[in-house]
């Protein structure tokens, strides 16, 4: 039974050794360990705060990026609408100009055709007049080959004209 109940001296010396160990640990080991734990805890808190701050900044940046994307899309759509309007206006203007030029060319062509027509008619009249004169000259020459026919023609002219 001696093994189950320790001697009083053993209990005292074990208690003294335990208390000295606690004293030495508290004096030399626990303060640095606790200080290191405190520093580590503070650094973890700072890291968590920095992570939360970074998360908030990322959220803000994401929101800003979304706003910028929306704004860029709106500007792109506006530019496309403006470009479409400008293209329509240029197309319509070109169409109108083409119509005006075509109309002017048609009028010029009609005027040219009319001038050519008048020129051709004048030339035909001139040729008809020349042919008429030549035919009349040949007819008169043939009819006036003798003296009797010449006298008859002069009499006819005199009868046609009345003298005052």
- Model confidence band, residue 2 (pLDDT cutoffs 50, 70, 90): low
The predicted structure's pLDDT at residue 19: 95
Q: Which ranges of the chain would DSSP assign to H, the alpha helix?
A: 8-24, 31-143, 147-160
160 or 98: whose pLDDT is higher? 98
pLDDT digits (tens, 9 = 90+) for 102-136: 999 999 999 999 999 999 999 988 888 888 888 77
CA-based torsion, 99, 101, 106, 110: positive or negative? positive
Residue 20 lies in a domain: yes
Residue 2 lies in a domain: no
**3-state SS, residue 69:** helix
Please state, in angstroms and rounded to a whole number, the distance separating the CA atoms of residues 30 and 27. 7
CA distances from 15 to 4, 22, 103, 104 (A): 18, 10, 124, 125
pLDDT average, residue stretch 60-89: 94
Residue 79 has pLDDT above 90, yes or no: yes
Range of the domain at 59: 15-160
Radius of gyration of the chain (CA): 65
Residue 140 lies in a domain: yes
Residue 4 lies in a domain: no
Residue 89 has pLDDT above 70, yes or no: yes
pLDDT average, residue stretch 13-22: 94
Residue 66 lies in a domain: yes
Contacts of 140 (CB under 8 A, 6+ apart): 153
| pTM more than 0.95 | no
- Number of domains making up the chain: 1
Read off the tokens for 158. Answer: 């005199």
Count other Cβ atoms within 10 Å, centred on residue 139. Answer: 10
Please state, in angstroms and rounded to a whole number, the distance separating the CA atoms of residues 124 and 128. 6
The predicted structure's pLDDT at residue 129: 83
Residue 76 has pLDDT above 90, yes or no: yes
CA-based torsion, 35, 38, 42, 47: positive or negative? positive
Read off the tokens for 16. Answer: 């003294």
pLDDT digits (tens, 9 = 90+) for 23-72: 888 888 888 888 889 999 999 999 999 999 999 999 999 999 999 999 99
- What are the backbone angles phi and psi of residue 89, rounded to the nearest 5°? -65, -45
């Amino acid at each position: 039974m001696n093994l189950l109940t320790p001697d009083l001296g053993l209990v005292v010396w074990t208690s003294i050794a335990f208390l000295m160990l606690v004293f030495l640990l508290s004096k030399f080991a626990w303060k640095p360990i606790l200080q290191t734990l405190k520093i580590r805890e503070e650094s973890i808190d700072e890291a968590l705060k920095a992570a939360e701050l970074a998360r908030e900044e990322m959220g803000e940046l994401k929101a800003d990026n979304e706003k910028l994307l929306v704004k860029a899309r709106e500007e792109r759509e506006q530019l496309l609408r403006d470009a479409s309007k400008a293209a329509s206006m240029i197309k319509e203007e070109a169409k109108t100009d083409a119509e005006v030029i075509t109309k002017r060319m048609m009028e010029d062509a009609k005027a040219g055709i009319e001038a050519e027509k008048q020129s051709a008619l004048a030339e035909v009249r001139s040729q008809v007049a020349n042919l008429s004169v030549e035919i009349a000259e040949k007819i008169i020459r043939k009819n006036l080959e003798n003296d009797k026919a010449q006298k008859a023609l002069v009499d006819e002219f005199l009868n046609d004209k009345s003298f005052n």
